[in-house]
Structure 1
């Protein structure tokens, strides 16, 4: 596998020379400074590519070209944004960046309720707590008709969380959810979040699938023409949020996407952590069934808690998913297909000097360095490159 590292551009607190020292050779990035729905100038693409290459690295995956909300909710004129997306894809491919990760999560990208969850060893992790999320939805956001999405027990849990919280905790929860986590490219106020959610009124799973299909109808021919590959990212967490449908959450969803258009360009990002939130997602079976459609891998694990809707990011080789078995399956896939799959460590813990420094949530330097080293070691052993100490 090709060892890569997510980098958020020149403003990232982790410079490219640190990435080289971590041992990665590939960079996963995007033009994060350009607002959603706007064209990426060819000059800006080449400037970013040259900056990465001059540091001795390669831009191997574009993560991501954001999909404008009007596309997902089917707003009038959404096709214009899809054609802009396709044009950005074309410009990237013409300059050598042909692996494009994207997601189709309505309104909010990946979502957590705590960015500094204390682990037993003193590390800080990311966490999703269902009671906190429900309390935000019901009593802070006050989404219309939200109560119908919860059971009486859920409502009681949310009320208990709210009663036990203080103003600072509620403000921190609100900021964590509405500000947008790294890579989401969108942030909201409570009012604009309500408005954006309301744009999906009447949208169900079938409707969102239809919008995804219509989007693919526009962009896939361009990807095929340019020799590019699209790698849709699973929902995170892989379940409906805020009354909005999510349609990239389980094996059936992935199978529908694969069958909608059988082109190899219509592919997937295997995010083990996202899919692993659900116990009914068999990651090894997904790898076996998707085969050559997997173009990119996010390797991390999560630990489901007593309430299985609660989870936190665990160490890379811990958690509820056997990541060593996943690496073995991906290496076997590479052998069968004759391809190399870019992978990156994801959502590392804040450890050591990370604890004393500002870092992008989920993307500390040392926590990911540890994760990459663990993944590299496991892959080396499985590939037979470490024998008798050599």
Structure 2
């Protein structure tokens, strides 16, 4: 398994030096400043590569950009509105430019409007650290009483809607504002300036789009870009919905094993693959992560290894970001399946036998609490997670046990 680290660019408070000291082998990053639908130019790609290639003292970092996460798919493409055809053409050009720069793995998602959703970005844990959390009741309070989306109350169980009304009534104005800000953080480019009117406009634009129609739009997108990826030597990998159930009346189409199997069958190419995110998929009780890796592993091109603890048995439930070896996913069993898949690939002579993974998210602990880095991406919390995952990989790969050999 190729150990990588997500980096948000030169403004990231977790530096290139930090990555180097963490002992990672490669970097996952993106051109976050380039709007969705625009071209990632060779000049901008090279600029990012230069930025991560040097440490603060000017010495070579020894690190390279290995995975692009994410090359975003515009809302126009997802809805097939506006300039969506131009955006697809630009996406193809960006893929070619990334390939020319030596980047072979490209992660993307097809979530409408929100890339991810949490109600708390710094939820206090018993040990004094913090983590990200999705509270279904708080989210219902936002949806029904702050956003005031038409029909929102009917989208939640009656008991949840009733508790949301009580909780909203007890909120002061600052809590209402912070809840809205936290939900907005998953809206690309709008975390600092989202208005409720703006969010309502985004939702209205999807008003007539069903899950079936959105899935057909994803297939149409893939039919256009996958041949280019094949030609360029790019492995595309779709990230699952986060969380993996419908929110705000929006369709969700990449939440289960069946969702992935359908898309793999619709556009059957090795270049059309999966980002297996154990945290996103693990927030849903009917997802069997080791089994998914075993059954779909040949198309898994990228791994996000994190864990969540669910607080209910329903598909839509509250959850929080737990330690990497705790939570609902058996991480040892999952890593064992990854190592078996890598062994199969080596025997088959596949050049991509080493699957890139990164320790996804992490709890803010120790000096992370002062650093105030990107929510979910602390230095020490991720390093702790990487060390735990690295220990599992090392143990399972030991010749005495034979997994992955």
**Structure 1, unaligned runs of 5 or more:** none
**Deviation sequence 1:250-269 (CA, Å, 0-9, x none):** 01101111101110000000
C-alpha distance in structure 1 between counterparts of 2:27 and 2:322, whole Å: 23
After superposition, residues 259-274 of structure 1 pair within 5 angstroms as 259-274=265-280
Conserved? CA contact 2:117–2:185, under 8 Å: no
C-alpha distance in structure 2 between counterparts of 1:61 and 1:186, whole Å: 24
C-alpha distance in structure 1 between counterparts of 2:243 and 2:170, whole Å: 25
Match of 2:383 in 1: 369
Match of 2:58 in 1: none
2:26 equivalent to 1:26: yes
C-alpha distance in structure 1 between counterparts of 2:33 and 2:263, whole Å: 30
Match of 2:36 in 1: 36
**Deviation sequence 1:158-206 (CA, Å, 0-9, x none):** 102202222111111101111337xx44543211110011001111110
* TM-score of the aligned structures, taking structure 2 as reference length: 0.92
**Deviation sequence 1:329-356 (CA, Å, 0-9, x none):** 1011111012001111111000001112
Match of 1:381 in 2: 395
Conserved? CA contact 2:276–2:304, under 8 Å: yes
C-alpha distance in structure 2 between counterparts of 1:253 and 1:293, whole Å: 14
**TM-superposed deviation, 1:4:** 0.5
Match of 1:50 in 2: 50
**TM-superposed deviation, 1:77:** 3.5
C-alpha distance in structure 2 between counterparts of 1:157 and 1:71, whole Å: 37
* TM-score of the aligned structures, taking structure 1 as reference length: 0.96
Conserved? CA contact 1:36–1:185, under 8 Å: no
2:323 equivalent to 1:315: yes
**TM-superposed deviation, 1:110:** 0.9
Match of 1:141 in 2: 147
Q: Secondary structure of 1:281's partner?
A: coil
Q: Secondary structure of 2:53's partner?
A: helix
**TM-superposed deviation, 1:385:** 6.5
Conserved? CA contact 1:380–1:386, under 8 Å: no
Match of 1:330 in 2: 338
2:362 equivalent to 1:348: yes
C-alpha distance in structure 1 between counterparts of 2:283 and 2:388, whole Å: 21
C-alpha distance in structure 1 between counterparts of 2:143 and 2:258, whole Å: 28
After superposition, residues 57-136 of structure 1 pair within 5 angstroms as 57-136=63-142
C-alpha distance in structure 2 between counterparts of 1:310 and 1:6, whole Å: 26
Q: Secondary structure of 2:218's partner?
A: helix
